[in-house]
Amino acid sequence: MSSLKPVRGTHDILPGDLRRHRHVENAAFETAGRYGFEEISTPIFEFTEVFSRTLGDTSDIVTKEMYTFADKGDDLITLRPEGTAGIARAFISSGLSHQLPLKFFYRGPMFRYERPQKGRQRQFHQVGVELLGVDSPLADVEVISIASDFLSALGVDGKVVCELNSLGDSDSRSAYRQTLVDYLMDHINSLSEDSRARLDRNPLRILDSKDKGDRAIIADAPLITDCLNDPSKRFFDELLEGLEISGVAYTLNPKLVRGLDYYCHTAFEFTTDALGAQGALVAGGRYDGLIKQMGGPQTPGTGWAAGVERLALMIDDPIGKKRPIAMIPIGNEAAELVLRLTQELRRAGHTIDLGYAGNMKKRMQRANKISACAAVIIGEDELSKNAVVVRDMDSGEQTEIPLSTLEDFLSRFL
Ligand code: HAM
């Protein structure tokens, strides 16, 4: 075998980390559930065109980051880099257009061939929500509120800001595109090579450039908010008003553009300084043209996705492991009774560690190591009396209990 290391950018998630991951996922699921969102699961791979035709020809994802391969039937397949396009595809292929509005929650692995660093993997996990079929900005208010409540439930809201922008409708975007290109053309010689290449095909993405020289030029660039037409302005005003009524704090960032092409009107990111370069925790926006562009009926949509790994880095171990009860048989004779008792107690809801082997001392050491809350000690003496000794591992107190009342006695440790 060439290497026993996981593939670069992928990770084994060991139990301690996985507890945090699951806590993040469950907090998102429960919060979205309170807004009436139901879980959906779509395949982790799709025909390549589901992504290549929707995320943007010039987007980093499509140009550099997709895991694409021909399968044995020569179909071109891509491991999903994000969840929205797959859900839009599922909406069309399952013929759900008569059930609108639809509110979906999802979770699962995503794949992007990016340069790995803290908070950025090639296989990572997202939780997300998508609300389909609602034109009104009220839908955006709702999805942004879910994100805000979710971050509060995780206790990270104090370290996060919601950055918000409007990309307007397509007329506003074309007007802005022209204004921006005119401005950038005046500085073309100072722009980075990457940005010059984007000028023609996707000038808005230049606003996202990390290049120092570009940043100086962008600082004085015209703003999209100045190019919004009246309907787009009205939409944005209603969104802001709805967020204020809902008690969701936000900061306007007129330079916020998203890396995917399907957005219109609302664009937002909940960002933090706590993770270094990878500051976006939750990101999303409105995508009214996506489903139609894929060949479905005109259906507006809005939603977001959050990086589970990034959020897991922000929280403490949420619950800790459930503390087990250790079974400590002394001598072979107790073994049979211990196995029977163990199964009865597990079926009654207790978490039991069987220890498997070793003398009393070894087994007590293990009970400490796994931070057992109690130890049930069964020796010859106890066997003859049909009793066991229960040791409270925190207080050290030992009590002899008749076998018949053991389950009852242990209920204090549940
Ligand atoms: P995105 O901004 O590409 O949007 O990703 C959303 C979030 O996924 C990011 O803010 C980040 O937390 C996490 N993420 C992205 N790439 C990585 C990576 N390589 N490693 C770790 N975490 C990562 C979308 O995916 C859109 N589908 C969101 C959306 C849903 N818009 C509307 N509905």
Residue 41 in this model has a pLDDT that exceeds 90? yes
**pLDDT tier at 414 (50, 70, 90 boundaries)?**
confident
pLDDT of residue 277: 82
Q: How far is the CA of 340 from the centre of ligand 1 (A)?
A: 49
For residue 25, report the distance from its CA to the centre of ligand 1, in Å.
15
CATH superfamily placement of domain 2-169+229-314? Bira Bifunctional Protein; Domain 2 (3.30.930.10)
Atom of ligand 1 nearest to the CA of 260: 3
Pocket test for ligand 1, best of 124, 140, 156, 205 (most atoms within 8 A of CB): 124
Cβ of residue 305 lying under 6 Å from some atom of ligand 1: yes
Confidence check: pLDDT of 314 > 80 = yes
Of the listed ranges 15-24, 320-329, 342-351, the one predicted with least confidence:
320-329
The encoded tokens of residue 134 equal 């609602």
Separation of 103 CA from ligand 1 center, angstroms? Answer: 19
pTM attached to this predicted model: 0.92
**320-345 mean pLDDT:** 89
Does residue 56's CB lie within 6 angstroms of at least one atom of ligand 1?
no
- Whole-number Å distance, alpha carbon 142 to ligand 1 midpoint, is 19
Cα 59 to Cα 45: distance, rounded to the nearest angstrom: 19
Q: Show the CA angle centred on residue 9, arms to residues 5 and 13, nearest 5°.
A: 70
Mean pLDDT of 148-174: 96
Note the pLDDT tens digit of each residue in 11-29.
999 998 999 999 999 999 9
* Average pLDDT rounded to a whole number, residues 157-180: 95
Q: Which atom of ligand 1 is nearest to the CA of 269?
A: 10
Ligand 1 pocket, residue 82 CB under 6 Å: yes
* Site to substitute for ligand 1 among 110, 125, 268, most atoms within 8 A of C-beta: 110
Which percentage of the chain shows pLDDT scores above 70? 99
How close is the Cα of 306 to the center of ligand 1, in Å? 6
User: If you take atom 30 of ligand 1, which residue's CA is the nearest one?
Assistant: 304
Confidence of residue 70 (pLDDT cuts 50, 70, 90): very high
| 301-307/280-286 β-pairing | antiparallel
Residue type, 95: G
Respond yes or no on whether the N-terminal peptide bond of residue 6 is cis (omega within 30° of 0): no
Residue 69 Ramachandran class (φ > 0 left, ψ -120 to 50 alpha, else beta):
beta
pLDDT value at position 202?
Answer: 86
Q: Per the structure block, which two tokens stand in for 271?
A: 């960002």
Cβ-in-10-Å burial (0-12, 13-18, 19+) of 318 comes to middle
Confidence of residue 319 (pLDDT cuts 50, 70, 90): low
Question: What is the model's pLDDT at position 369?
Answer: 94
Model confidence pLDDT, tens digit, residues 278-291: 899 999 999 999 99
Q: Order of strands, edge to edge, in the sheet holding 38-39? A: 38-39, 102-111, 123-132, 301-307, 280-286, 264-272, 160-166, 251-252
Q: What is the mean pLDDT of residues 128-152?
A: 98
Question: For residues 244 and 145, is the Cβ–Cβ distance under 8 A?
Answer: no
Q: What is the mean pLDDT of the chain?
A: 94
Does residue 355 register a pLDDT over 70?
Answer: yes
Pocket lining: 86 vs ligand 1, CB cutoff 6 Å: no
Which residues are CB-neighbours of 257 under 8 A, at least 6 positions away? 165, 167, 204, 205, 207, 208, 267
Task: Kindly state the tokens that stand for 78.
Answer: 């891509």
Domains 2-169+229-314 and 325-413 share a fold: no
Residue 391, pLDDT > 90, answer: yes
* Pocket flag, ligand 1, residue 128 (CB < 6 Å): yes
pLDDT of residue 101: 98
Residues 252-280 have a mean pLDDT of 92
pLDDT of 158 higher than 90: yes
The predicted pLDDT at position 261 comes to 86
Pocket residue to mutate for ligand 1, from 160, 310, 311, most atoms within 8 A of Cβ: 310
pLDDT at 212 (0 to 100): 92
Looking at residue 57, what is its pLDDT?
82
Q: Where are the domains of the chain?
A: 2-169+229-314, 325-413
The percent helix, strand, coil of the chain (3-state, each to 5) is 45, 20, 35
CATH class of 325-413: alpha beta
148 CB less than 6 Å from ligand 1? no
Is the minimum distance from the CB of 304 to ligand 1 under 6 angstroms? yes
> What type of residue is 393?
M
Compute the average pLDDT of residues 358-370. 93
Confidence at residue 166, expressed as pLDDT on a 0 to 100 scale: 97
CB 355 near ligand 1, within 6 Å: no
